[in-house]
C-alpha cells in the first residue's frame, strides 16, 4: 500500500501524497528504504509500491506553489474563478465519496478558486491536459524505478482525464497516457 510521504493528519490511508520523493517517516527514512531495496534486490526479492497519479495532497510542493499564486503551478490543477465550469462538470461527474466529501470541487478561499478534488478537499486532482503534469509524473516514476522499486501499482487511473460532458471516468485519453508512460 502507499509508502510515499503522505500529508500529516487525515491522508486517505496514505493516498494524499505530500512528497513523491520521500517515504512515510513512520516507516523510516529514504536512506533506510533505499538500503532495504538494495538488500531485497540482493536476495532476489521484488518490491511493489503504490503510486498515486490522479492527485496530490494540498501540502505537496506543486499545490503549495499554486496556493502562493504561481500561475504555472495553478495550471497543474483544474482551477476556476467561479462555479460556471465546476457546475458543468457536476452535471455529469458522479461524486466519489458523497457522504464524506460532497461535490467534485473545493473552494479555496486563499486563492479564490474552485479546485477539482475528486476524493477530498486536501487531494487536488492533477490536470493531465497540461503536458508538464505528464512529464513530472513520468519523472517521479523513473525516480522510483531508479531507486530500486521493481513494480509500481498505479492508483486512481480511471480518474486521470477530465473532460466536460462526461463522467470523467475511464476516458479514452487515459489509455494513451498509459501507453506513453510504458
What confidence score (pLDDT) does residue 8 get? 96
Q: Which residue has the cell 487536488?
A: 124
What confidence score (pLDDT) does residue 24 get? 96
What confidence score (pLDDT) does residue 98 get? 86
Give per-residue pLDDT as tens, 54-93: 999 999 999 999 999 999 999 999 999 999 999 999 999 9
**pLDDT of 1 higher than 80:** no
What confidence score (pLDDT) does residue 100 get? 85
For residue 30, what is its C-alpha cell?
529514504
Q: What is the pTM of this model?
A: 0.94
Give per-residue pLDDT as tens, 121-160: 999 999 999 999 999 999 999 999 999 999 999 999 999 9
Q: How far is CA 114 from CA 45, 111, 124, 143, in A?
A: 45, 9, 11, 31
Q: How confident is the model at residue 101 (pLDDT cuts 50, 70, 90)?
A: confident
- Residue 161 and residue 168 in contact, taking contact as beta carbons nearer than 8 Å: yes
Q: Are strands 48-52 and 151-155 parallel, antiparallel or unpaired?
A: parallel
Half-sphere exposure at residue 162, Cβ-oriented, CA atoms within 13 angstroms: 26
All domains in the chain, ordered by first residue = 4-76+124-181 (3.20.20.80)
Between CA 103 and CA 127 the distance in angstroms is 18
What is the SS3 assignment for 158?
A: helix
Nearest to 74 by CA among 20, 110, 113: 113
Per-residue buried b or exposed e for 131-167, using 16+ beta carbons within 10 Å of the residue's own CB: eebbebbeebbeebeebbbeebebbbeebbbbeeeee
What confidence score (pLDDT) does residue 86 get? 98
What confidence score (pLDDT) does residue 2 get? 83
**pLDDT of 104 higher than 80:** yes
DSSP conformation class of 50? E
Average pLDDT over residues 167-174: 96
Give per-residue pLDDT as tens, 29-41: 999 999 999 999 9
What confidence score (pLDDT) does residue 73 get? 98
Amino acid at each position: 500500500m502507499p509508502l510515499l510521504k503522505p500529508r500529516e493528519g487525515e491522508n486517505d490511508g496514505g493516498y494524499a501524497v505530500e512528497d513523491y520523493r520521500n517515504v512515510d517517516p513512520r516507516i523510516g527514512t529514504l536512506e533506510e528504504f533505499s538500503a532495504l531495496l538494495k538488500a531485497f534486490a540482493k536476495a532476489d526479492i521484488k518490491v511493489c509500491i503504490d503510486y498515486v497519479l490522479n492527485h496530490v495532497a494540498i501540502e505537496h510542493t506543486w499545490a503549495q506553489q499554486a496556493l502562493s499564486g504561481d500561475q504555472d503551478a495553478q495550471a497543474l490543477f483544474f482551477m476556476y474563478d467561479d462555479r460556471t465550469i465546476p457546475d458543468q462538470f457536476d452535471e455529469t461527474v458522479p461524486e466519489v465519496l458523497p457522504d464524506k466529501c460532497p461535490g467534485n470541487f473545493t473552494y479555496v478561499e486563499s486563492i479564490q478558486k474552485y479546485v477539482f478534488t475528486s476524493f477530498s478537499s486536501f487531494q487536488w486532482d492533477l490536470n493531465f491536459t497540461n503536458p508538464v503534469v505528464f512529464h513530472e509524473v513520468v519523472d517521479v516514476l523513473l525516480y522510483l524505478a531508479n531507486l530500486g522499486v521493481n513494480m509500481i501499482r498505479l492508483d486512481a487511473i480511471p480518474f486521470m482525464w477530465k473532460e466536460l460532458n462526461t463522467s470523467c471516468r475511464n476516458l479514452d485519453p487515459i489509455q494513451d497516457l498509459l501507453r506513453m508512460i510504458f
